[in-house]
Amino acid sequence: MAEAAAQRSGLVATIARRIVLFALIAMAAQLVIVFADYYFDDPELGSLMVERETALLAEGISHRDGQWSFRLPEGAVDYGPGSTTRIARIRPQGGGLIFSNCGEQCLLHLLPEEIDPPDRWMRLLGPGKPIAVAGGRTLWIDGKPVIIEIAILDKDEAVMWRALGHEFADHLAIPMFLQLVLVLGGSLISTWLALRPVRAAARQAGSIDPLDPEHRIDVSAMPREVAELGAAVNRSLARIGRLMREQRLFTTAVAHEIRTPLAMLQLELGQIDSPRARRMEQDVESLARFVGQITALGRLEAIERKGFQPIDLAELGRNVVASIGPWVYDRRHSIGFVDSSAAAIQGDRALLEDALMNLVTNAVTHTPDGTEIEVRAGPGASIAVIDKAALYRPVAHDDTRITRSGDRLGIGLEIVKRIAAIHDGAFSISADPAIGTLAILTFPPHPVPGAARPRAIPSHLQESQDAASPNPPGKPSGPSNRLAQGRGPRRQ
């Protein structure tokens, strides 16, 4: 859906296209109006032709050293000497002649030379199209008045269309283009400025933390229309948060209600001396662990990032290994810790400890006896649990689910994945025959001032970290007890 939204045109581009479209429609309508106004008004069209042709001839007139000279402009070659359809006479006011290509026709169609003509005159030489017209006007060239007179007698309409084209360009196309540029530019700038609050609201919505039920879009500085949209989103967020809280409360309440009878069942089974009772104890223990995981999932949704503290990953891994080590050895596995220049992060210590506990428990549960397990902090802002069995097999539809027997739901790994997401990190799991099964958590780094620790620690547990205390009678041993009843073999 995000890709489809990115392919759609923006509002500014849409407005620009519509302004250009309506401007073109307006120009076309104005073109039709102007064309009709001129084309069907022969006297007006005749005056336009005279004005355009006299202006064209005026481009070839010059005055130097008191002498007048004339050279036919490129667009006026039809007014050359001997022309019978394009007549032109140019003379200075007060007498004299600058240019003339006519003889008797000048007398027939133009005003007599002895008459001082008006500044502008025109008369039609015949009805209908093509227009035959004679006329003239007085132009000032180099500060002196010059009378330019013409007569158009040919049967084609080239002069008429040329005059109409220049009229449209000079008085319609150029002004409307400038107006379009100003209107379009002003509209786009105004729209862009008006959309800034919308973009700000979109950025706020994109940065909303799903784990923070109080996170809302700030609508205090937004225009009324955008603020209404932001308020509607805030109301939706509030409803979603309320539903999520109710769902968490229900799930947690159900899990708590189940834990009590499970604990009592475990106590009763502990009083029965029978192999079948031991097998049932294992099943009940698995069910109790599952209920605990459901409760943990509910607690995760209540975590707030603002309570995060700097955490040394090496210290975290070392403490987890010391706590869960006796339980691991009781299951006839071995565990060690390695510090590979680990960095510090911002996070919740209890959650990260739970994540590592889940990974170690999963490794012990799904590997054969005697498997070596390693907790490795680093390099950088990462911490990993490695088992040497390398029995993990990826599933195409879920890259964090274990396919080995006994982990049908993958709740433990789902908890690990959510804990990583809460810390803006990532969780991945893979198998390499040369290394083993590698379950790794990576996080954004957060330096801790003054943090100093050894680069590496022997893989076997230190004696002071392995001190154990017996479990209460009837309570099953497991990683959640942190210390186990017995001791297992050590790695040397």
Residue 372: pLDDT band (50, 70, 90) is: very high
Phi, psi (rounded to 5 degrees) for 442:
-120, 145
| Final residue in a domain of this structure, among 97, 129, 156 | 156
CATH of the domain at 475: 3.30.565.10
Strands 372-377 and 334-339: parallel
User: pTM of the predicted model, to two decimals?
Assistant: 0.45
In a domain, 187, yes or no: no
| Final residue in a domain of this structure, among 108, 123, 156 | 156
Exposed (0-12), middle (13-18) or buried (19+): which is 30, by Cβ within 10 Å?
Answer: middle
| Final residue in a domain of this structure, among 131, 156, 181 | 156
In a domain, 180, yes or no: no
In a domain, 463, yes or no: yes
Answer whether the bond into residue 458 is a cis peptide, omega within 30°.
Answer: no
In a domain, 334, yes or no: yes
The string of pLDDT tens digits covering residues 129-153 is 888 899 999 999 888 899 999 998 8
In a domain, 31, yes or no: no
CA atoms within 13 A on the CB side of 302: 11
Q: What is the mean pLDDT of residues 276-295?
A: 76
Query: How many structural domains comprise the chain?
Result: 2
Q: Above 90 in pLDDT, residue 316?
A: yes
Q: Are 271 and 308 in contact (CB under 8 A)?
A: no
- DSSP letters, 80-103, are STT-SSEEEEEEETTS--SEE--S
Task: Measure the CA–CA gap between 355 and 252, rounded to whole angstroms.
Answer: 19
319/268: higher pLDDT:
319
In a domain, 460, yes or no: yes
CATH of the domain at 45: 3.30.450.140
Instruction: Identify the domain containing residue 129 by its residue range.
Output: 41-156
Query: What is the three-class DSSP state of 451?
Result: coil
Q: What is the mean pLDDT of residues 17-31?
A: 83
Residue 449: pLDDT band (50, 70, 90) is: very low
Give the position of tokens 């680093």: 378
Task: Measure the CA–CA gap between 441 and 386, rounded to whole angstroms.
Answer: 12
In a domain, 316, yes or no: yes
Q: For residue 88, give the amino acid letter.
A: A
In a domain, 235, yes or no: no
What pLDDT does residue 94 have? 79
What pLDDT does residue 475 have? 35
The string of pLDDT tens digits covering residues 141-199 is 888 899 999 998 887 788 888 888 887 777 777 777 887 788 888 888 887 887 787 77
Exposed (0-12), middle (13-18) or buried (19+): which is 422, by Cβ within 10 Å?
Answer: buried
The string of pLDDT tens digits covering residues 205-217 is 777 766 566 677 8
